[in-house]
Each structure stands twice: as structure tokens, then as C-alpha cells.
Amino acid sequence: MRTVLRNRLLMTGLMFLAPFATLAQGATSAYTKIDVRRDCRRSPGDVVEDYGEWRCKGYAGAPIWLAAGDQRMFVSFGRKAKDEPAAEQTLAPVNDFYKGAIEWRLDERGGKPFAAIMRWNVKTIPDRESLKVSGRVLVVTRLPPGPVCHVGYVDAVANSDANELAREIADKHARSFDCGRDKPLVFGKVTPGESFVNTDR
């Protein structure tokens, strides 16, 4: 009787722990904060609409490159960040990312980051005649090894589960994403009338 009871308790405990074991084997997140004007090294631009570029450090010293011009920003990662596809990608609306948090998705084999998630500020259609910037878009970027590029977007205003959707894009698609062939994904709902598809620099 005691043996049967002990076995039942053991099985119940294993069933309870199983979901946590599954989660522990998957990707995890690490977070860093960045203030471009305070934390990064800036090189000024050559013309009025070229606001310059910044070089910063992220998780475990990962190189980050940012540039701005014509009221839009470009963000790339890695030792050759400026030469990566991401250095030519931005969002369609007026946008910026000068300050905020970066979520790094880390693989299960030692915590190496394979994707970065950043919350960009964007001007929505009602914002265009004012200085207001009320839109927020999560940009998922593929990280080295291999090319660096935008993998997908989530409208953070239209989706209450925006962070979860962005992690889903990163975990399911970032590592296998072909920057030369695949088009960035849009997960979740999009604010009516808005479009965040990336445009070339």
C-alpha cells in the first residue's frame, strides 16, 4: 500500500514539473537598456537630413550600430553591423529608437543571443499633423552568425500580448530566416489604416 501511494505521489510530482522542464529547455530572455545620446559613441552626419550614426554595446558586449536620417532610424548588430541588411531597413512611418530596452532571445545551448526585440516609436496617421508620436512597433531582428535583418513586426498598441507575439516570431523564425529571400512577418492585429512594412534606406 505504501509503495503504491509513493508511486502515485512521484507520478503526480513529475506531471507537475513537466511543463517547467519543457520551458527550461527553450529559449530565454535577457534585457539591456540603451540611451543612444548618453551611452553610445556618435559620428555626425555629412548633410542636414543625415543625423549621424552611433555605436553602442548590448548584451555581453554585442556591437550595436544605429543611424538616423529623414526622420527614420536604422539599427543593426554585430562586428559588421553597418554592412548588414538591417542597416538598410526601417519602418514605413516616421520612427525612432533613441532610448529603451532591448530584449535578447537566448538559445537553449549556452545562452547565445539569436534575436533582438526592440520597441520603436512610430508616427501614426493621426500623429502626422502634430509633434505627437503615439505608435509603438516591436521589431524582431535576426542576429549573427549569418546575416542580420528584420524578421518581423508586431503592433504593440493593437495587441495586448505584443511581447509574446514578438518572442514567437523570434523563436520560430529568426534562426532559419533567409534575409535575402524571406519577407518580414507581421504577427497579430494592426491598427486600422497603418502599415509598418520596412522600406529601403
Task: Give the type of residue at 172.
Answer: K
> How far apart, in Å, are the Cα atoms of 16 and each of 2, 25, 160, 177, 185?
21, 16, 28, 35, 35
Cis peptide before 145, with omega less than 30 degrees from 0? Answer: yes
The pTM of the full predicted model, rounded to 2 decimals, is 0.85
Question: In this model, does residue 99 exceed pLDDT 80?
Answer: yes
Check residue 8 and give its pLDDT: 44
* Calpha distance 72→61 (Å, rounded): 25
Which backbone phi and psi does 72 adopt, to 5 degrees? -140, 155
Q: How confident is the model at residue 21 (pLDDT cuts 50, 70, 90)?
A: very low
Count of residues making up the chain: 201
Chain segment 120-169, per-residue pLDDT in tens:
999 999 998 888 999 999 999 999 999 999 999 999 999 999 999 999 99
- Domain ranges within the chain, ordered by starting residue: 26-200
Question: In this model, does residue 12 exceed pLDDT 50?
Answer: no
Helix/strand/coil for 182 = coil
* Calpha distance 123→92 (Å, rounded): 10
Q: Evaluate whether 144 touches 78 at the Cβ level (below 8 Å).
A: yes
Cell of 160: 495586448
* Calpha distance 156→135 (Å, rounded): 8
Average pLDDT over residues 71-100: 96
Check residue 23 and give its pLDDT: 36
Going edge to edge, which strands form the sheet with 63-69? 41-43, 50-57, 63-69, 72-77
